[in-house]
Structure 1
Amino acid sequence: MDNLSAETRAYIESILGTKTEVETTNGLNLPFFITDAYGISELTLQFGPLPALSILLLLPVDNTYPGAVALKKHIQHVLKATDAVVVYVSKSLSAQERRSLINQQINFIQPGYQMFVPELALDLREHFRKRRTDAEPSALLPASQAMLLHCLYRGWQSHTLFNANQIMGPYKYSRVTLGKVIHQLLALDIIRPAQIKGFISHYEFSGSQAKVFEKARPYLRSPVKRKLPLKTKLPLGDGVYLAGETALARNTMLAEPALPVYGMTKKIFDSLELTMADGIDEQRAWVEIWSYASLKKEHNLADEASLLLSLEDCPDERVQIALDELKGSVTWLLED
């Protein structure tokens, strides 16, 4: 079995042109018939400074092929104990057996002959795409900004570890978007790779909340995409919140504007089918279309950091004084 693990490692290195590491895994809670039939190892691939990719190798003890149907059931048992990509390894598969595994969408490696791991191929494609576009971003994606601000509000202790899903928080972004967010935060040294727990990569923030916000500040942008005149005022809640100068007035000593300003995402805006005002005489409010929802649910208000970003270019001196007051309400918004 050790020879099979070494052959697999050499085969993958020859195909992908990268160094790998293989370690035996004993920490999974698996049925005895699985641990009796297979040795389990974690193979890690490292591509420069990018996060490592890991797969779980299922190595048959006696190199007996159980058949595609039985093997699929065995893999399902392993998947109940891990989130990793599981790959069956065998030295002696016939062409018919390889076709059967492919038809069943079962990941397998036959060293020297064939590797069928579609999930790994997708991850590699993202890694190489990131390598080609590894230049420092000029601005954070809206999803990156929303996730980062959410983490800042939540806070962390020194060396607190987060996996990708914990960084995503309450949002429902796709795996691809989450991958882009993690890559951006890594590229800007906002988060750093940390130890791996089990088979899930973990990260830690590169400093205190104030330091992280200061580091991210040049890449943060106003969440407001459009500002439109409304014919009617709106009830708050269900994705509708106070924004702009109205929200700033609720947080500071600034006088409220004559017309209220609401914020919402485009998805909420489209669902409400609002009527726009044709002129000043019939206008009753403003609506701002945001690239992400407010991070502050209580009181239906735009959150302080996003509010600051949305108004920082306003030329009104009263607004700028109020923004300075707003910064005092969130410690990590204060500039050194």
Structure 2
Amino acid sequence: MTPLAHETEAYLQTILPGLVGMVRPAPTERVANLPYYLGQLKLYTVQVAEREVALVLGPFDGKRGDTKKMLASLSKYLNLPVIYVLKGLQSFERKQLIASGIQFLVPGNQLFAPSLGMDLREYFRPGATATEGQLSPSAQAILIWLLLIGYEEPWVAAEVAARLGYTAMTATRAVRELEAAELIEQTRLGRRKCIHLIDAPRPTWERAKPLMRNPELRVEFVGRRRFAHGQHGIRVAGLDALATRTMLATPNTHAWAVEQAEWAKIQRGMPAADPWDTAEVIQIWAYPPTILPDQTTVDPLSLIVSLRDNDDERVQLAIEELEKTLWQ
């Protein structure tokens, strides 16, 4: 697959967690009967909410009207909704595509697919705010980084975001959220605009807890020998991680956390399933579980949020024990 196809898959799985399959090159039997001018397109398919969708990787030459006719013809031949995938768009180009009724996707930016009932915009709309109930995954990850690592000095938001694998634009949206929640503020140091916590870490954490989302999007069960525990991006999670950090007994079943886009990459290289292999729990997270880069477990704050609804009294006592050790 091309880098753009990989980015498309990661973006779809991020904005539609649990509803999107893997992006794959269009099956040969579908492409074989296409007219030559359509068969030369970069075609992929993906399952979205149990519906098959065709993806056309652009750009390709031609006027907007020609693009619309070509995509309409392709949709008719394949009998599938077609989405035009582009690396980037100027604002006026986006408006032209929408006005022309062309369904399109820009990874990390926007999905416009009326046939699927979707018009999901990121760069072109204000980010989710704390008033909507929860922090976005990127805002939560940046806040946790500040609480655990960056609380002693101001930081440029884009630098923090880069450490976590986010873009500068994502950092801008996250900062707006965190400022609206009165958890951080911006100050100018020389020519640099920096962010820092308004209060000390512990009171900030107490105020932020009601806004924190469970990072776990879904759980999968995978044979132990099918994936390498030492891969970059995988961390010990769940009760396993809590047992590592507290006096809680180690569970029999191991749990691991991995960010959704990273998991998609890992799956491509996994061997076939072995029915005799021991199953382990894979938690698919909305943001990277690698906020603390040199740890084997997920960070303690994400761990607490992921387990706070566990009804086991022993687990809740262990969480209290863990919280007391923070910021000593």
| Matching residue of 1:3 | none
How many residues get paired? 202
The answer to whether the 8 A contact 2:158-2:168 is kept is no
Identity among equivalent positions (%) equals 26
Change over 3 Å in CA distance of 1:224–1:256 after alignment to 2: same
Cα offset for 1:134?
A: 7.1
1:212 matched to which residue of 2?
A: 204
Match for residue 264 of structure 1? 258
TM-score (normalizing by structure 1): 0.53
CA distance in 1, matches of 2:292, 2:130: 32
Letter of the aligned partner of 1:271 in structure 2?
K
Q: Secondary structure at the match of 2:217?
A: strand
Task: Give me the whole-angstrom Cα distance separating, in 1, the residues matched to 2:303 and 2:199.
Answer: 24
Unaligned runs of 5+ in 1: 1-125
Letter in 1 for 2:131: E
Q: Deviations over 1:296-332 (max 9, x none)?
A: 3334211111111111101112211211111122138
Secondary structure in 1 aligned to 2:287?
A: coil
2:283 to 268, 282, 288: 288
**Who is 2:181 aligned against?**
188
**In the alignment, structure 1 residue 303 sits paired with structure 2 residue 299:** yes
Cα pair 2:144 2:301 within 8 Å, conserved: yes
Cα root mean square deviation, aligned: 3.0
What is the CA–CA distance in structure 2 between the aligned matches of 1:153 and 1:237, rounded to whole Å? 23
Equivalent-residue separation in structure 1 for 2:325 and 2:299 (angstroms): 11
The SS at the match of 1:327 is helix
How has the CA–CA distance of structure 1 residues 164 and 316 changed in structure 2, closer, same or farther, with 3 Å as cutoff? same
In structure 2, list runs of 5 or more residues that go unmatched.
1-121
Residues 223, 310 of structure 1: 8 Å contact kept = yes
Match of 2:117 in 1: none
Are residues 1:202 and 2:194 paired? yes
C-alpha displacement of 1:137: 3.5
The alpha-carbon deviation at position 197 of structure 1 amounts to 2.3
CA change 1:173–1:314 in 2 (3 A) is same
> In 1, Cα distance between the equivalents of 2:189 and 2:294?
35
Check whether the contact 1:254–1:318 (CA below 8 A) recurs between aligned residues: yes
2-structure distance, mates of 1:287, 1:186: 33
Q: Name whichever of 163-172 and 246-255 sits farther off.
A: 163-172
Structure 1 position 190, deviation (Å): 1.2
Question: Which 10-residue stretch deviates more, 265-274 or 249-258?
Answer: 265-274
The equivalent of 1:242 in structure 2 is 236
Residues 259 and 309 of structure 1: CA distance in aligned 2, closer, same or farther (over 3 Å): same
Question: Alpha carbons of 1:217 and 1:193: their partners in 2 closer, same or farther (altered >3 Å)?
Answer: same
TM-score (structure 2 length as normaliser): 0.54
Q: Alpha carbons of 1:135 and 1:328: their partners in 2 closer, same or farther (altered >3 Å)?
A: closer
Task: Note if 1:312 corresponds to 2:305.
Answer: no
Q: Which of 134, 141, 158 in structure 1 is aligned with 2:136?
A: 141
Name the CA shift for 1:221/1:127 in 2 (closer, same or farther; >3 Å). Answer: closer
Deviations 1:159-209 (A, max 9, x none): x433322443512322321111011011111122324622x4333321111
Q: Does 1:227 align with 2:219?
A: yes
Confirm or deny that 1:323 pairs with 2:319: yes
Tell me, yes or no, if the aligned pair for 1:232 and 1:275 is still in contact at 8 Å: no
Q: Does structure 1 conserve the Cα–Cα contact (< 8 Å) formed by 2:219 and 2:283?
A: yes
Residue by residue over 1:118-160, the C-alpha shift from the partner in whole angstroms, topping out at 9 and shown as x without a partner, is xxxxxxxx999549x8782411111111111111111434xx4
User: CA, structure 1 residues 166+176, in 2 after alignment: closer, same or farther (shift >3 Å)?
Assistant: closer
Which whole-Å deviations, capped at 9, do the CAs of 1:196-255 have from their partners, x for residues lacking one?
A: 622x43333211111221222111111111111122254233112111111111111111
